[in-house]
């Protein structure tokens, strides 16, 4: 009865949402018709049109973080956050896509790799590398929680559902259509979702133009009057964006590295030729520029003078920057447009969520289950039987991931954006350099790949733990260093290091990983020359 009342209270929003669910389900069923085994579930058949892959890729990159979470960072931290997320990171992402996509496709199509961990294992001829990177990629669960939590925020504010109801609906729906349709369902539904997202993103960006009616300079002065740090290229009060390094260098490096996420890089294997890769990258660039402009909502919301109490969590009373986008929409648009925009926000979340789920379930089936059971549980099965069993195992693991996501998102972290970044950046801190080196260089000692990956991941997690533990203890980083038995390792006179921004620690990790890989490659070249000289 309660749900009937909710639908009657917001018939337009619910009507559009149910129409969206029906359309997505139909597309997923079309994908199911083309999905019959583990290969088609993970990659399709390599026959997708470039424009479909381009929109799918742009949607996967943008996600709920761009539509719901990131405008909150701009609202709180101002221009420094915009430069980090919208300029430095965007430049890094497209540099990474252009640099690595073609080479990744050539190597992957030649080796018949289904997943990113398998690509790494085959490139370096190590099954254990495949297993290790598969395990590391399970950190994607943190980003799944971010997306599901952000979708829940939108549903609570617009559909009137509780957090639990929103989680059950989101997890049940998205996990189900990926369970049924695999990669084709992901691509087909993302095409619909991406088209909706692009149109609505343009509408949202344009909605703020009246706030600039007196000129850009007047709007900038109004922001500066609220807080001068909102218009500062480097925000000295920000724990996340308080230095050139944390804004620009870490933004570019982590943007470049984000391309090595399993649900992004693997798109290069959806098409049949290098020419198709360049086509889908062009489509992706055009759509992504529109998505990135949504960061302006952080500034728009300040110019609207929205009362601060609108951003308080109704349960805890705490400030939630994650509410900025949804509050702006309800303050700006008519009920009809709120309904349309709501569907776009939900599309944004589901478009990335399904891509990550495809990657995770494929990795779990192909790289973990098959590799760990081939010599025991599956030793009496032929290859076709083993892959069918692995496909079912991947679907079962998908269900388990849904249950785990529910219990974590039921009581979400205070900052969903940071929580998701810690896991996602951990994956790229470990993966980026081994992938780039595998594409660019010929001979690399396998031990150096191990050392490079563990260096990147270890430094990223270690530096973030250092900063967060200092904050939790209400100590400054300097005080923490003085109280820590490891304090002698750090310069205790250094100012705020910005390690609460996960991209900063991940950048240090990636740079250190690159140094290790470079030393390994140099040693291999030196050894080759020494052998040739002695011969």
Three-class secondary structure assignment of 54-93: HHHHHHHHHHHHHHHHHHHHHHHHCHHHHHHHHHHHHHHH
- Does residue 305 lie within any of the structural domains? yes
The percent of residues in the chain predicted with pLDDT above 70, rounded, is: 83
Please report whether residue 311 resides in a domain: yes
For residue 19, give its domain range: 2-31+46-440
pLDDT above 90: percentage of residues in the chain: 20
CB atoms within 10 A of CB 25: 16
Higher pLDDT, 177 or 251: 251
Residue 372: pLDDT over 80:
yes
317 CB neighbour count, 10 Å cutoff: 9
> pTM for this one?
0.80
Residue 36 located in a structural domain: no
Of residues 209 and 445, the one with the higher pLDDT is 209
Does residue 284 form part of some domain? yes
- In this prediction, residues 306-322 reach a mean pLDDT of 77
Residue pLDDT, tens place only, 128-174: 999 999 989 888 888 888 888 878 888 887 788 888 988 888 888 88
At residue 315, φ and ψ (nearest 5 deg) are -90, -50
> How confident is the prediction for the chain on average, in pLDDT?
80
Q: What is the CATH number of the domain that holds 155?
A: 1.20.1730.10
pLDDT band at 493 (very low <50, low <70, confident <90, very high): very low
Identify whether 446 is part of a domain: no
Q: Does a structural domain hold residue 107?
A: yes
Q: How many domains does the chain have?
A: 1
Say if 445 falls within a structural domain: no
What does the pLDDT read at residue 492?
Answer: 38
pLDDT in tens, 449-478: 999 999 999 999 888 887 776 555 545 555
Look at residue 180 in the predicted model and tell me its pLDDT: 67
Return the pLDDT at 342. Answer: 79
Q: Does 455 map to a domain?
A: no
Q: 141: burial class by Cβ within 10 Å (0-12, 13-18, 19+)?
A: middle
């Amino acid at each position: 009865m309660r749900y009937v009342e909710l639908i009657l209270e917001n018939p337009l929003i619910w009507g559009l949402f149910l129409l969206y669910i029906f359309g997505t389900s139909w597309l997923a069923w079309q994908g199911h018709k083309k999905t019959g085994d583990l290969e088609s579930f993970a990659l399709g058949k390599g026959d997708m049109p470039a424009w479909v892959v381009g929109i799918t890729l742009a949607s996967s990159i943008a996600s709920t973080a761009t539509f719901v979470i990131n405008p909150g960072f701009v609202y709180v931290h101002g221009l420094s956050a915009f430069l980090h997320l919208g300029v430095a990171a965007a430049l890094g992402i497209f540099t990474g896509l252009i640099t690595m996509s073609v080479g990744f496709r050539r190597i992957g199509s030649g080796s018949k790799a289904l997943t990113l961990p398998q690509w790494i294992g085959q490139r370096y001829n190590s099954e254990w590398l495949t297993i290790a990177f598969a395990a590391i990629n399970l950190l994607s669960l943190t980003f799944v929680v971010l997306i599901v939590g952000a979708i829940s925020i939108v549903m609570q504010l617009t559909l009137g559902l509780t957090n639990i109801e929103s989680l059950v609906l989101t997890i049940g729906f998205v996990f189900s259509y990926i369970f049924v349709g695999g990669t084709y369902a992901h691509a087909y539904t993302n095409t619909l979702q991406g088209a909706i997202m692009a149109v609505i993103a343009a509408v949202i960006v344009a909605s703020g133009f009246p706030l600039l009616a007196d000129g850009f300079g007047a709007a900038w002065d109004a922001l500066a009057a609220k807080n001068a740090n909102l218009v500062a290229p480097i925000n000295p009060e920000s724990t996340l964006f308080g230095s050139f390094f944390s804004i620009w260098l870490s933004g570019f490096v982590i943007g470049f590295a984000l391309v090595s996420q399993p649900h992004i890089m693997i798109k290069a294997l959806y098409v049949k030729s290098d020419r198709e890769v360049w086509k889908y990258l062009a489509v992706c660039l055009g759509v992504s520029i529109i998505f990135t402009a949504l960061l302006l909502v952080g500034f728009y919301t300040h110019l609207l003078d929205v009362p601060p109490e609108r951003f308080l969590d109704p349960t805890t009373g705490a400030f939630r920057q994650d509410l900025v986008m949804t509050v702006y929409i309800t303050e700006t648009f008519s009920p009809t447009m709120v309904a349309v925009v709501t569907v776009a926000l939900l599309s944004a979340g589901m478009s990335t969520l399904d891509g990550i789920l495809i990657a995770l379930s494929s990795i779990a089936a192909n790289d973990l289950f098959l590799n760990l059971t081939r010599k025991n549980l599956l030793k009496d099965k032929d290859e076709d039987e083993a892959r069918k069993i692995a496909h079912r195992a991947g679907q079962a693991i998908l269900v388990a991931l849904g249950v785990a996501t529910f219990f974590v998102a039921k009581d979400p972290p205070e900052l969903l954006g940071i929580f998701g970044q810690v896991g996602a950046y951990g994956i790229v801190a470990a993966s980026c350099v081994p992938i780039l080196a595998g594409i660019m260089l010929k001979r690399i000692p396998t031990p150096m790949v191990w050392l490079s990956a563990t260096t990147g991941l270890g430094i990223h997690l270690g530096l973030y733990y250092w900063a967060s533990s200092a904050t939790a203890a209400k100590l400054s980083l300097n005080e923490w260093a003085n109280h820590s038995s490891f304090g002698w390792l750090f310069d205790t006179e250094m100012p705020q290091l910005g390690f609460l921004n996960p991209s900063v620690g991940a950048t240090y990790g990636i740079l250190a990983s690159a140094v290790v890989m470079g030393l390994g490659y140099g040693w291999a070249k030196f050894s080759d020359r020494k052998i040739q000289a002695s011969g």
